[in-house]
Amino acid sequence: MIVSVRVIETSTPQLIEDISLATNSQSRIGTRDLRANHPIAQKLASGLSNLGYQYIRKRGELSNLPAQHTIDALRAGQLILAYLKGLPERAKTDTTSMFADSFEHVFDPNYVTPELLITAHRLFADIEGEKHKAI
C-alpha cells in the first residue's frame, strides 16, 4: 500500500485556512465546519456568550442553553443575509457560499455584531411564533 502525504509547514493562519479549504476532498467536511474556528466565528461566539447566548459553530454541537438563547451558525448566516443584508432569497438557497467564498462578507465583523445578531434571532422567533398562531 502506498500512502501519499503532503507536509506544509507554516504559521500563517490565512494560508492554513486556504489549504484546508482547497484540499478538502478525502473525507468531505462542510464549509461551515471548516469555518468554525475562524477568528470571526470565535469572536462572534465569545461576544454572544458574554450576552448569555450560545453560538453553535459546528454541525452536531449541542447547546446547554434553551433554544431562545442558542444561535446556530447556519441560522446566523441566514438571518444576516435575510434581515441584515436584505437578501432573503440567498438566505434559503445559497447556504454553501455563505461559509465559503462569501464568508467574510456575510459575517463581516465591522457590520455583524452579537447584539445585532440577537435582535435578528429574536425577530425571527417572533415571526415564527406568529406564523404558527396563524396556522
Grid cell digits, residue 91: 438566505
What integer pLDDT is reported at residue 25 of this predicted model?
Answer: 56
Residue 129, all three cell numbers = 411564533
Distances (CA, A) of 108 to 52, 80, 81, 126, 127: 22, 10, 11, 25, 25
pLDDT of residue 118: 96
Name the stretches of the chain with pLDDT < 50: none
pLDDT at 47 (0 to 100): 97
Residues 6 or more apart in contact with residue 58 via CB below 8 angstroms: 32, 33, 36, 73
Contact criterion met (CB below 8 Å) for 54 and 69 = yes
In the prediction, which pLDDT does 106 show? 92
pLDDT at residue 107, rounded to an integer: 94
Cα separations in angstroms, 134 against 33, 81, 94, 107, 125: 36, 25, 28, 33, 14
